Amino acid sequence: MKPLDIDADQRVVGPFELLARLGEGGMGVAYLARALPLEGLGDELAATYRMTESDGGADSAEDRLVVVKMIQPGLLNGQPQALERFDREIDAVRAVVSDRVPALIAAAPPQSLQPWFAMDYIAGPNLHTLVTKTGPLAAGPCVALGLALVDALRAIHGVELLHRDLKPENVVLGPDGPVVLDFGLAVLAERRTSQALTKPGEAWGSWPYASYEQLHDFQSVDKPADVYALGAVLFFALTGRAPYPTQPMLTPPDWNGVDAAFLPLLGQILVPGAGHRPDLGSVDMGLRAVLVQLGLTPEHAAKQLGTLVEAAGLTPELPPEALADHADPMVQDLAQKAVDAGAAPDAPWAGDGIVDLPDVDPGFYGLVDTDEIEWAAEADAAEQEEQAVVPEGYTPTLVDPALAPGEPPAGVAPPHGQTPGTAPLPTGQPLPSPRPAGEHPPSTPRALPRAASAVAAELREAYAHRGTL
């Protein structure tokens, strides 16, 4: 963990106080954060942030550590359709319920100019760190790892999502066992739409752990690609190296160092043909067969893995801010004043703590006073009645803007000059200028703030098109 950059990092994102930087990459920046126990947050603003309740109740809100991930704006290609699709992906990720996947806690308001989401923080080292520092895993702990990865992928695949970037760095060994991270970012990157984030011939993922088809025919990959990555992660756990140094090949990997009990299963998984790999159910059975050979139960193997992780002492040390029993008083006070003023807690703060709402997309700040929203809705509805007659019983529907993806060229080699083992990043485009708020009709009985009018429009669209609100 690194301290916040006072010149570049915010102190509050949504209702969360940022505490430290966890990492940064081409997809975005990850922060350790704490949920702020704000009074008067309101149902409307909580719904805008798509917040979920803590299992420990309201009293434990301040003690809840989370990971806030802020997406690089360039990944959205500067198009409203891409922002809308990102919003849909967040809802899809929320649908994944598993002890092996961090829970999605909150996300940026729809159409926000600064997309982010918050997930549970898992305290523990990642698999890459553990194996690099302590050596390859024994057979028993490796089976426990494999069974946990099967459970995680079952939950992800169960809601029609794919990971496509499963690797040792994305597996955290927490107090309750292995947890799979970062599939939300992978889903955002992988979706092929008319606003494609990658071009034909480019590939997403970590090459040493990606399947052959993922690097050569990315648009057509499916669940077998995640199965391959699971096998590659187990290979690393047993040997301390990836199956192939840079990228998958058509020839078998070097099996030196792989426990003999795993050879039959990994031999079926680490093959170039997606149709020849076992499904997750068969992988589960294969791992349990290894346990039988070892004379272990799943519980015993899991205990072995937990003991190994605890003895390694590699859990990242929390910064002093995270160990404090309360939020930074200044941050808490300014965020609370923002809420009291009718703005989002991450609204810009003036030096005296008074909140000002500049004329930008209000989706960035959240909701304003609900009375102003109602005035905006009534005024806009009156204007629409003058312009068009709406048929009785009409229900607005949302047409998916995504077009059918084109057929990629087969057998595409890595782009010239691309370093093996790394994923090329798309060239980002600047985000569009915020949409101006609509004008109110002359008959409006009172002056209407621009922010309220625009937020009302966002709400009407959300209520018409989103079944979750």
At 239 the pLDDT is 98
CATH superfamily of 125-315: Transferase(Phosphotransferase) domain 1 (1.10.510.10)
Model confidence at 86, in pLDDT bands (50, 70, 90)? Answer: confident
pLDDT exceeds 60 at position 41? yes
**153-195 residue pLDDT tens:** 999 999 888 898 899 999 999 999 999 988 766 666 555 444 4
Which class is 1-123 in CATH? alpha beta
* Contact by Cβ (8 Å): 205, 215: yes
Across 99-103, 326-330, 438-442, the highest mean pLDDT is recorded for: 99-103
What are the structural domain ranges in the chain? 1-123, 125-315, 368-388+435-469
Q: Tell me whether the CATH fold assigned to 1-123 matches the one assigned to 125-315.
A: no
- 10: which 2 tokens? 């915010």
- DSSP H/E element including 66: strand 65-71
Q: Is 0.75 surpassed by the pTM of this model? A: no
- DSSP H/E element including 18: strand 16-24
- 30: which 2 tokens? 């990850």
| C-alpha span between 134 and 308 (Å, rounded) | 9
* Contact by Cβ (8 Å): 156, 163: yes
Number of C-beta neighbours around residue 62 at 10 A:
18
| C-alpha span between 279 and 58 (Å, rounded) | 41
| C-alpha span between 145 and 232 (Å, rounded) | 12
Short-list 367, 379, 363, CA closest to 438: 379
At 369 the pLDDT is 28
* Contact by Cβ (8 Å): 362, 111: no
- Max CA-CA distance within the chain? 81
At 40 the pLDDT is 86
Q: Which residues pair with 180 in a beta bridge?
A: 171
What is the DSSP code (8-state) at residue 135?
-
- 75: which 2 tokens? 């990944």
For range 5-31, the mean pLDDT: 87
Question: Which residues are annotated as catalytic?
Answer: 165
Amino acid symbol at 207: W
According to DSSP, the β-strands at 65-71 and 28-35 are antiparallel
| C-alpha span between 288 and 299 (Å, rounded) | 11
Please give the mean pLDDT across all residues of the chain: 75
Counting beta carbons within 10 angstroms of the beta carbon of residue 43, is it exposed (0 to 12), middle (13 to 18) or buried (19 or more)? exposed
Model confidence at 461, in pLDDT bands (50, 70, 90)? Answer: low
- 352: which 2 tokens? 């005296």
What is the DSSP code (8-state) at residue 449?
-
